[in-house]
Chains A and B, each alone.
Chain A
Amino acid sequence: MNTLVKHRLFWPVAMLVALLLSNLAFTPSFFSVEVRDGHLYGSLIDIVRFGAPLIMVALGMTLVIATGGIDLSVGSVVAICGALACWRISEQGDQNSVAGVLVAVALALGLALLLGAWNGFLVAVVGIQPIIATLILMVAGRGLAQLITDGQIITVNSSPYKLIGGGYLFTVPFAILVALAVTALAVLLTRRTALGMLIESVGGNAEASRLAGIHSRRITLMAYIVAGLCAGIAGLMISSNVSSADGNNAGLWYELDAILAVVIGGTSLAGGRFSIAGTVVGALLIQTLTTTIYTTGIPPETTLLFKALVVTVVCLVQSPAFRAKVFKGRRRRPSAPPAGPAAATTEKVEVPA
């Protein structure tokens, strides 16, 4: 039990469970999942499905933040990719042609890679501060998305494209499967190869890593490219879910939600340490919070305040320093750990997958 409570992800997961349980009071059938119309149907499925794009964006953001950077442009990349894919599909004669949709998706993801590489280039090669470098694309990207859509909402009517964000495969929403696959791939690459360690090393001290023989520029560049690609996939999911591209509103303020998810997951904003599982929990927590607001009927005027309060509580509860201060008085004295090397080992941060 004690080791469970000590686990880094204990508090975020506990908050997530608490939030889910609180829904039960308002909606007794909240946890029921049924098969309707040949696919899974229920609030829990909704949370994961609508959370999938956020998970994608936050995954990319985790890697960027782990290298000590930040990517503010992901929201704009979301808008650009959705716009490009929908524009391409709307231009072709038969919107339902699978080949045409594949070309559109490939084009959009190609552009996402390019945009990520642009950010990476500015940060790793030119040496601009990440927050400024990615701010460029954050502002310019919205303009680019509106240029593609011509300021309009492009509506497409394409069943293969619809699959990405709004469709089902083996009764499970396709977006959930994509998010699962990408998360698994990220865990595999960062925890089963040396890549994760290299990223943390660059985030800890880029110069020292370079002197130790790590291509730190290449690692940083790669992190931004992956962030771009993840945002691109999220952009496809979001636009496909509503079969339309909205250059103005798609992915608006997504970068902030993504950063929040990363922080809730326990990744340090200073870089050098990250947790992919934590990020996924963080993203689900944010989406659960949004769904909770809708189902409990909190008036829209106070939504933002409620969100801010919950997030503040989550962050406070997660902080060991805060817990120590608040709960110290209630703890039994004898169980205080003895000082010395034994305590030092338990203090060491575990790095879960």
Chain B
Amino acid sequence: MIRRWSAAVVAGLLAAVTVTACGGGDDGAGSGSDDGKITLGFSQVGAESGWRTANTKSIQDSAKEAGIDLKFSDAQQKQENQIKAIRSFIQQKVDIIAFSPVVESGWDTVLKEAKDANIPVILTDRAVDSPDTSLYKTFIGSDFVEEGKKAGDWLVKEYASATDPVNIVELQGTTGSAPANDRKKGFGDVIAAEPKFKVVASQTGDFTRAKGKEVMEAFLKSNPDIDVLYAHNDDMGLGAIEAIEGAGKKPGTDIKIITVDAVRDGMQALADGKINFIVECSPLLGPQLMELVKKVNAGETVEPRVITKETTFTQEQAKAVLPERQY
């Protein structure tokens, strides 16, 4: 009996703590849909990287600019937090819900609840695997395959006049993740057209600098003749640059380097001539998202898939934009 009581008390305490934790994020302004302003509930994945932080900032800033009342919730990389946040948005009767799903599956129930409450949902940055596409209005985010293709296109152009075989090593992202799979595929498809391009080694560097360096060290020893490095993100490229320098070679000259993302440290290396080409994967989708929010709120039809406005950077372009780079 006593044990059951104490269990109940502990459960009660836990619930109280969770409720307080959730309540902390609210601004206490209530539903706020009466003053004519659009209310947007946004559930972010977390703050796991500089990229994500820039993403959050972009959404917050552009909401303010567009005069949209933003209710922001950080899921700390947990799906249950995100589901809780979406349910609380439904209860608060926000006009539109947007979120970056932590994982791909398990969203059907909560998205149906939103649909039943007549609240349109917009996905940002990451997709869900639900077969029922009526559960959300649109998905805005980068096209990772396209990013890989852009990287491949640059390489083909750069080596257009070369006749010798070009030895490429590839640093993949976290095994099985969508960006890693798609960036590898897009790049591979483009370079497959010309037999002179050869990927001599391809390993995962887990998207981190430390692993990027470690794997590149091993590549340099097992493949004495490397012409090009293609890294699925800037961080692995930055780690690899240190490995290349340690081997007494000049990154950017002896080994040409292509990366994806264009975060500040990567752009700095590009401007310094250590990286040759960066394909942008922009976190700054705030303005585009707010445009979509207004359209959806007005009942206009929107494209089911919206690609983030993204570009690519050469060394000269990096020098020009570096001073005003936000992230």
Q: Which residues of A contact B (CB under 8 A)?
A: 26-27, 29-30, 36-37, 41-43, 46, 50, 146, 151-153, 155, 166, 238, 241-244, 246, 248-250, 290-291, 293-297, 299-301, 303
Asked if B50 is at the interface (CB within 8 A of a chain A CB), the reply is: yes
Asked if B143 is at the interface (CB within 8 A of a chain A CB), the reply is: no
Asked if B201 is at the interface (CB within 8 A of a chain A CB), the reply is: yes
Asked if B172 is at the interface (CB within 8 A of a chain A CB), the reply is: yes
- Asked whether B221 lies within 8 Å of A295 as measured between CB atoms, the reply is yes
What are the residues of chain B within 8 A of A301 when measuring CB–CB?
A: 175-176
- Asked whether A152 lies within 8 Å of B214 as measured between CB atoms, the reply is no
Contact flags B130-157 to A (C-beta < 8 A → 1, else 0): 0000000000000000000000000000
- Asked whether A151 lies within 8 Å of B265 as measured between CB atoms, the reply is no
Knowing A151-B49, A242-B209, say if A46 contacts B248 (CB, 8 Å): no
A41 to B244, CA, bound (A): 12
Knowing A37-B248, A241-B210, A248-B48, say if A152 contacts B222 (CB, 8 Å): no
Asked if B242 is at the interface (CB within 8 A of a chain A CB), the reply is: yes
Query: Min CB distance, B240 to chain A, in Å?
Result: 10
- Asked whether A151 lies within 8 Å of B47 as measured between CB atoms, the reply is yes
- Asked whether B209 lies within 8 Å of A244 as measured between CB atoms, the reply is yes
- Asked whether A300 lies within 8 Å of B203 as measured between CB atoms, the reply is yes
What are the residues of chain A within 8 A of B95 when measuring CB–CB?
A: none
Knowing A29-B221, A42-B221, say if A249 contacts B175 (CB, 8 Å): no
What are the residues of chain B within 8 A of A242 when measuring CB–CB?
A: 209-210, 213, 238-239, 242
Contact flags B71-100 to A (C-beta < 8 A → 1, else 0): 000000000000000000000000000000
- Segment 211-263 of B: residues with Cβ below 8 Å from A: 213-215, 217-219, 221-222, 224, 235, 238-239, 242, 246-248
**Chain B interface secondary structure, helix, strand, loop or mixed?**
helix
What are the residues of chain A within 8 A of B175 when measuring CB–CB?
A: 300-301, 303
Q: Closest residue of chain A to B218, judged by CB?
A: A294
- Asked whether B210 lies within 8 Å of A291 as measured between CB atoms, the reply is no
> Which of A42, A152, A241, A246 has the most C-beta atoms of chain B within 10 angstroms of its own C-beta?
A152
Name 30 interchain pairs, CB-CB below 8 A, sorted by A. Answer: A27-B221, A29-B224, A37-B246, A41-B247, A43-B218, A46-B218, A46-B221, A146-B47, A151-B50, A151-B53, A153-B50, A153-B265, A166-B246, A242-B209, A244-B238, A244-B265, A246-B209, A248-B48, A249-B208, A250-B210, A293-B203, A294-B203, A294-B215, A297-B201, A297-B202, A297-B222, A300-B172, A300-B175, A300-B203, A303-B204
Query: Min CB distance, A306 to chain B, in Å?
Result: 12
Q: Closest residue of chain A to B210, judged by CB?
A: A242
Q: Closest residue of chain B to A251, judged by CB?
A: B210
A43 to B222, CA, bound (A): 9
- Asked whether A43 lies within 8 Å of B221 as measured between CB atoms, the reply is yes
A249 to B50, CA, bound (A): 13
- Asked whether B247 lies within 8 Å of A36 as measured between CB atoms, the reply is yes
- Asked whether B210 lies within 8 Å of A246 as measured between CB atoms, the reply is yes
What are the residues of chain B within 8 A of A43 when measuring CB–CB?
A: 218, 221
Number of interface residues of B (CB under 8 A): 35
A301 to B47, CA, bound (A): 28
What are the residues of chain A within 8 A of B222 when measuring CB–CB?
A: 26-27, 294-297
Q: Closest residue of chain B to A299, judged by CB?
A: B202
- Asked whether A249 lies within 8 Å of B53 as measured between CB atoms, the reply is no
- Segment 165-222 of B: residues with Cβ below 8 Å from A: 172, 175-176, 201-204, 206-210, 213-215, 217-219, 221-222
A50 to B210, CA, bound (A): 10
Contact flags B28-56 to A (C-beta < 8 A → 1, else 0): 00000000000000000001111011000
A43 to B206, CA, bound (A): 21
Q: Closest residue of chain A to B222, judged by CB?
A: A295
- Option from B49, B172, B218 in Cβ contact (under 8 Å) with A153: B49
Query: Min CB distance, B43 to chain A, in Å?
Result: 17
Knowing A27-B221, A29-B221, say if A153 contacts B47 (CB, 8 Å): no
- Asked whether B204 lies within 8 Å of A153 as measured between CB atoms, the reply is no
Given contacts A248-B48, A294-B218, 5 further A-B contacts (CB under 8 A): A36-B247, A151-B52, A153-B49, A242-B210, A250-B210
- Asked whether B50 lies within 8 Å of A152 as measured between CB atoms, the reply is yes
What are the residues of chain A within 8 A of B202 when measuring CB–CB?
A: 297, 299-300
A290 to B214, CA, bound (A): 9
- Asked whether A153 lies within 8 Å of B209 as measured between CB atoms, the reply is yes
A43 to B17, CA, bound (A): 52
What are the residues of chain B within 8 A of A300 when measuring CB–CB?
A: 172, 175, 202-204
> Which of B203, B210, B242, B248 has the most C-beta atoms of chain A within 10 angstroms of its own C-beta?
B210
What are the residues of chain B within 8 A of A153 when measuring CB–CB?
A: 49-50, 209, 235, 265
What are the residues of chain B within 8 A of A146 when measuring CB–CB?
A: 47
